[in-house]
Amino acid sequence: MILILQDNVHAGTPAFGTIMEYLSRRPGIETRVHEVKGAQQTLTEIYLIGDTAALDAEELAELTGVDRVVRVSREYRVLGRHQDDFRPSGFEYNGVDFDQDGFEVFAGLCAVDTREHVDRTFAALAAQGLRCARMGAYKPRTSPYAFQGHGAACLPFVFESAGRHGIRVVAMEITHEKHIQEIHDALTAIGRPTGVMLQVGTRNTQNFELLKAIGRQQEFPVLFKRGFGITLEESLNAAEYLASEGNQRVVFCLRGVKTGLGDPHRNLVDFAHVPVVRRLTRMPVGIDPSHSVGRRDVGPDGIEDIHHAAVQGVIAGANLVLVDFHPAPAKALVDGPQALRLEELPLFVEDMQIAREAYLKRRAAHERARQADATSPVA
Ligand code: PEP
Ligand code: MN
């Protein structure tokens, strides 16, 4: 059960004290307090854990300072969408809104290699009016002998270049909790010219200690990849680790699942789950067509499989597209075969806009049909 407090009630106010005192007298009930930072205001929510069946929701709703009571009907207490749950979805970060109504393209290098490639990539994104990007500094690789990323050494030039090109948010995978501090220090040292969304890669979806560490910090939002060999439910539970530790600013990103049945694609594209994640949770949902498809093959219609897969996710309501681009894919140190060329970026962005508009039209058509249904006389 969740108590959502009125906007002027938070830890330290008398009403908050009285509510906590009331709850402390209920046997078998534990409380966890979450501060939810929205664009306009910070709301306080009290999560009740334990024997909540014995609690009277109406009595709790009457307490001074309580705005609403939500009965948690499923797992994913914090990130889930529950019955009569009108809590807003999403968050604002560094001037960009991320929610289930928004849409952003995060294109860029799978792995940072040279300064020149980083700069050319950001310049190309800026020319398309994009304000988000992807850049990998810390790379989890299958082989210990493969390039592991430039790590902290590349952060100053990546962030400086992002800021110079007006990029507001860079998605960057981290593989160890110490990377959070390294990113914080690098941003601070050069005056925060951009923002970072910490990416949890598919190989770390169930690295619970890493998730807890990322969840404990409030500075950076998270782009959380679905695990490639586990169920959707297991991945959603893993995302909940972030929120249960205090960080609810999470985008859930589908990236295909590992099974030979996806061949010749690198993974089996799982974008039919876009509406499922939107229904079960309040998280904005991303798709990664590059790691799903894994190759630049072109269909008989002249359209690359990566474009086709991306469009399938966007037309189903995806809020974010994470996609590999490179100025010279043959020279990329990681995942060159799936990187699209920078010259293709305008077409990719146009293709995504076509799909996004088609999704919005579909939504409007379904809404019109519902309205007509509701107003038609009952036979
Ligand atoms: C990536 O986005 O660079 C990446 C490694 O993705 P995933 O964790 O989905 O394989
Ligand atoms: Mn990659």
- Domain harbouring 82, CATH code: 3.30.70
**pLDDT band of 74, cuts 50, 70, 90:** low
**Sign of the dihedral through C-alpha 320, 291, 252, 192:** negative
Residue 371, in any domain of the structure? no
Q: How many domains does the chain have?
A: 2
**pLDDT band of 44, cuts 50, 70, 90:** very high
Nearest ligand for residue 139 CA: 1
233 lies in the same domain as 277: yes
Residue 139 alpha carbon, nearest atom of ligand 1: 5
- Any ligand 1 atom below 6 A from CB of 110: yes
> Which of 63, 90, 117 is the last residue before a domain boundary?
90
Residue 97, in any domain of the structure? no
- Any ligand 1 atom below 6 A from CB of 284: no
Question: What range does the domain containing 25 cover?
Answer: 2-90
Q: Using CA atoms, how far apart are residues 227 and 202, in angstroms rounded to an integer?
A: 5
> Which of 90, 124, 152 is the last residue before a domain boundary?
90
Helix (H, G, I), strand (E, B) or coil at 256: coil
Nearest CA to ligand 1 atom 3: 110
Residue 226 alpha carbon, nearest atom of ligand 1: 9
**Of 93, 100, 99, which Cα lies nearest the Cα of 131?**
93
Q: Where are the beta strands (DSSP E) in 231-371?
A: 250-254, 285-287, 320-326, 340-341
**Of 49, 78, 73, 48, which Cα lies nearest the Cα of 60?**
48
**Of 274, 319, 312, 273, which Cα lies nearest the Cα of 293?**
312
Helix (H, G, I), strand (E, B) or coil at 323: strand
5-37: per-residue pLDDT in tens? Answer: 999 999 999 999 999 999 999 988 999 998 887
7 lies in the same domain as 128: no
275-322: per-residue pLDDT in tens? Answer: 999 999 999 999 999 999 999 999 999 999 999 999 999 999 999 999
Whichever domain contains 207, its CATH number is 3.20.20.70
Cβ(332)–Cβ(339) below 8 Å: yes
Find the 350 Cα to ligand 2 centroid distance in Å: 23
Nearest ligand for residue 256 CA: 1
Find the 146 Cα to ligand 1 centroid distance in Å: 15
The answer, yes or no, to whether the previous bond of 264 is cis (omega within 30 of 0) is yes
- Containing 307, the helix (H) or strand (E) segment is helix 305-314
Find the 202 Cα to ligand 1 centroid distance in Å: 6
**pLDDT band of 193, cuts 50, 70, 90:** very high
Q: In the predicted model, what is the mean pLDDT of residues 153-182?
A: 98
181 lies in the same domain as 253: yes
Cβ(45)–Cβ(246) below 8 Å: no
Q: Using CA atoms, how far apart are residues 363 and 88, in angstroms rounded to an integer?
A: 19
Residue 346, in any domain of the structure? yes
Nearest ligand for residue 174 CA: 1
Q: What is the pLDDT of residue 379?
A: 56
**Angle, alpha carbons 132-36-162 (nearest 5°):** 15
Cβ(69)–Cβ(61) below 8 Å: yes
Q: Which amino acid is at 186?
A: A
**Of 97, 100, 88, 85, which Cα lies nearest the Cα of 359?**
100
Residue 379, in any domain of the structure? no
Helices (H) and strands (E) in the chain, counts: 11, 15
Give whole-number Cα distances, 367 to 183, 267, 335, 359, 373, in Å: 44, 34, 41, 12, 10
